[in-house]
Structure 1
Amino acid sequence: METPSRPADIERDGAPVRSMLVAVGLMAFGLVVVPQVTTLPAFLVDPALLEATQTGEYGETSLLGRTLFMALNFVGITLAGIIYLLWTDRGLSWIDLRVPTKRDWIYMLAGSVGSIAFLFVVSFLYELLGVPAADSQVVDIIGGDQTMVLIMIVIVFFFNAPAEEFLFRNVIQKRLYEAFTPMQAVLVTSVIFALVHFPMYALAGSVVATLASLVIMFGGSVIFGYVYVRADNLLVPTIAHAALNAFQFVILYISMAYGLEQDVATSLIEAVAFVPL
């Protein structure tokens, strides 16, 4: 089924409540349901992962097991989006992929620099105000393993950013165009994205720490959603997202390798809007 790619060309159905319910369902389906299936091979390779995912202690798990666990989680997110497109007869033509133009590269740069600047500003304010951040499972998985940090940089470019941007931007946000203006869809997507993560962070830290983490997630989602609206090209928010996450892991790696202030690097990496596993 051929579908228009530009937001202005998508016919609105005037059903915002239904569209928001679809968005919430898709996030739950993509973040929880499908990854439960796609990550099974990782548990077969390393059974110790089963206990580690419950306790948050990954010290006894293998590097291969952790790598598969992270990569296959994002494979599940991608698969969830594809299943939805095929189930609803939107088809793979719904995916906004094309060779980047000069304008696209400008938005990629703007999204990359803007998201990194946003992270720095918010992290600085949190540090200044003494606001804590809720724990990130990604930090637990990495532990103190420098090799795992380098592997995560590869995962960011080939699994993490492509999967998240495909589901959240090209599927969910674009689906919301049918009931909202493009910028309204960006905000609705970002609010739902943050709220869906509330239970996870609420269990991991205080109310203040939870809200602090959700603010980061909301802000990052708005930035990536905006550049997607402007470019109509999935590659644009994907590259910007990958650049942000890779930057954080590079900072973490340098701090480990050269003994820099660990608290600074950890606060940066914990602020990233990773999908819960």
Structure 2
Amino acid sequence: MDTSSRVRDGSPIVATAVAIGLAIFGIAATQLTTLPAFLLDPALITSPGDASITARTALMVLNFLGFALAGGIYLAATDRGWSYVDWRMPTGRGWIYVLVGIVGSIAFYFLVSILVQLLSLPTTDNQVMEYVAGDQTMILVMILIVFFFNAPAEEFLFRNVIQKRLYDAFTRMQAVVVASLIFALVHIPAYLAASGDLLSIGPDALFATTVSLAVVFGGSLIFGYLYAKTDNLVVPTAAHAAFNAFQFGLLYLALEFGLEVEDPAQSVVADLVFVLS
């Protein structure tokens, strides 16, 4: 039943606090799950682009498994169980929403690109680009990762767990906004870290980070809306994966044909990695 049509009995403050706590828990979990990758190749710490593809792939996969682990622990601890997970094959209507999500996210991406160029707005890179390092093979690997690990793990934690938990205290559209805001804010460390020394970040870097976070927030609204309308995790996951794969595909083609790559939404190789330290 649509949460907007029934009485909500949860506290907005408590629900928001739980949602923020789950996001932080997800980030903390990735710090533990990615440790084997750093042990496999210490170059990931000092010069990520020089690390082996095996190590970089392991890092990305383990990072997203951390999000899934955090969500799974929450479901187990609250006795919600796996029946709480809205994972099922979409109906015809569901696939229409997937298509709308893909088209909408790509249109949003290009709209932002145009605005950033016209207004000469700065953006900052997400740390994930340090691990891709202009390596075409790694880009192809990342396309597989977004389909099998990135999109499923992020949508599970931020949509099926966090956004759904917010339904107890907010209308569905309010929950989409709050979950998307949390989703954007947890990117702050990754964007600031990519800007340079965290102790010497100036106003320009902070402004560039704000622009990039606004883009992440907008993209998250699209995927959150898809989940709110369908109650099916497969729908936003499929749209999210296709969108990220599209972005990596553009990057691959740019490198393949030696094009100047100036991606106005730079770091928005959508919400790929939050905190990789």
The answer as to 2:42 corresponding to 1:47 is yes
User: Which residue of 267, 271, 274 maps to 1:270?
Assistant: 267
Structure-1 separation of matches of 2:182 and 2:231: 21
Structure-2 separation of matches of 1:9 and 1:91: 25
Structure-2 separation of matches of 1:171 and 1:211: 26
Structure 1 residues 85, 6: closer, same or farther in 2, change over 3 A? farther
Structure-1 separation of matches of 2:209 and 2:102: 25
Shift of 1:136: 1.1
| 1:52-71 equivalence runs, <5 A | 52=46, 57-71=47-61
Amino acid in the other structure paired with 2:143: I
> Which is further off, 139-148 or 37-46?
37-46
Structure-2 separation of matches of 1:128 and 1:231: 36
CA deviations 1:210-267 (Å, max 9, x no partner) are 1111111110110000011111100000000001100000000000011122224xx4
CA deviations 1:76-97 (Å, max 9, x no partner) are 1101000000001111111001
TM-score by length of 2: 0.91
Structure-2 separation of matches of 1:250 and 1:184: 33
Shift of 1:12: 2.7
| 1:118-157 equivalence runs, <5 A | 118-157=108-147
CA RMSD of aligned residues (A): 1.7
The answer as to 2:80 corresponding to 1:83 is no
Shift of 1:59: 2.9
| 1:60-209 equivalence runs, <5 A | 60-205=50-195, 206-209=205-208
Given that 2:15 and 2:165 are in contact with CA atoms closer than 8 Å, whether structure 1 keeps it comes out as yes
1:273 aligned counterpart, secondary structure:
coil
TM-score by length of 1: 0.91
Amino acid in the other structure paired with 2:39: L
Unaligned runs of at least 5 residues, structure 1? none
Structure-1 separation of matches of 2:82 and 2:2: 15
Structure 1 residues 42, 204: closer, same or farther in 2, change over 3 A? closer
Unaligned runs of at least 5 residues, structure 2? 196-204
The answer as to 2:245 corresponding to 1:250 is no
Structure 1 residues 102, 115: closer, same or farther in 2, change over 3 A? same
Shift of 1:193: 1.9
Shift of 1:274: 2.3
Amino acid in the other structure paired with 1:237: P
Structure-2 separation of matches of 1:7 and 1:95: 17
Structure 1 residues 188, 245: closer, same or farther in 2, change over 3 A? same
Shift of 1:203: 4.8
Structure-2 separation of matches of 1:24 and 1:135: 24
1:100 aligned counterpart, secondary structure:
coil
> Which residue of the partner structure matches residue 211 of structure 1?
210
Shift of 1:198: 3.0
Structure-2 separation of matches of 1:78 and 1:133: 29
Structure-2 separation of matches of 1:150 and 1:187: 32
CA deviations 1:39-70 (Å, max 9, x no partner) are 12212221222x23xxxx32321110000000
The answer as to 2:33 corresponding to 1:38 is yes
Amino acid in the other structure paired with 1:270: S
- % identical equivalent positions: 57
Structure 1 residues 10, 235: closer, same or farther in 2, change over 3 A? farther
Structure 1 residues 270, 200: closer, same or farther in 2, change over 3 A? closer
> Which is further off, 216-225 or 199-208?
199-208
Shift of 1:10: 7.9
Structure 1 residues 171, 9: closer, same or farther in 2, change over 3 A? farther
